Amino acid sequence: MAIKPSPRFAMLLLLSHTIAAIAVYAAAMPFEARLAIILLVLLSLSYYMARDVLLLLPDSWCDIALDQNIVSVVSRDGSSFFGQAASKTIASPYFVLLRIRLDSHRLPVSRAIFPDALGVGEFRDLCVRLKFL
């Protein structure tokens, strides 16, 4: 299943980072501390937009395949890895939080996939397959 940029995810990221920046701006902190934290929020927004929404970074997921309990992922740079779908993977009609446990990592690798990032049939197929794992 080829993953494409998701406008819905972009709006959600923009909204959540804007709320965080407003909360920091309204906090009773020195101006320099607020400025530093808002800068970190903007850096976070730009990183996740580039990696997960626009798929510009080398470690952006461009293609996923699910075969029984094994998930294979192809990154933008052409590298691929295989792993098992972790137990805390979430599949809903609104989004999929795909958590993959790799043998070489202690913690699972996670990505959010929204319906507009896949075709309608592909997203439905992914949700059904993940529900029956």
Q: What is the CATH number of domain 61-131?
A: 2.30.29
> In the numeric block, which tokens belong to residue 1?
């299943």
Low-confidence ranges of the chain (pLDDT < 70): none
What are the residue ranges spanned by the domains of the chain?
A: 7-53, 61-131
Three-class secondary structure of residue 17 per DSSP: helix
> In the numeric block, which tokens belong to residue 102?
């790799």
pTM recorded for the entire structure: 0.86
93 Cβ partners below 8 Å, 6+ apart? 115, 127
pLDDT of residue 24: 96
pLDDT of residue 27: 94
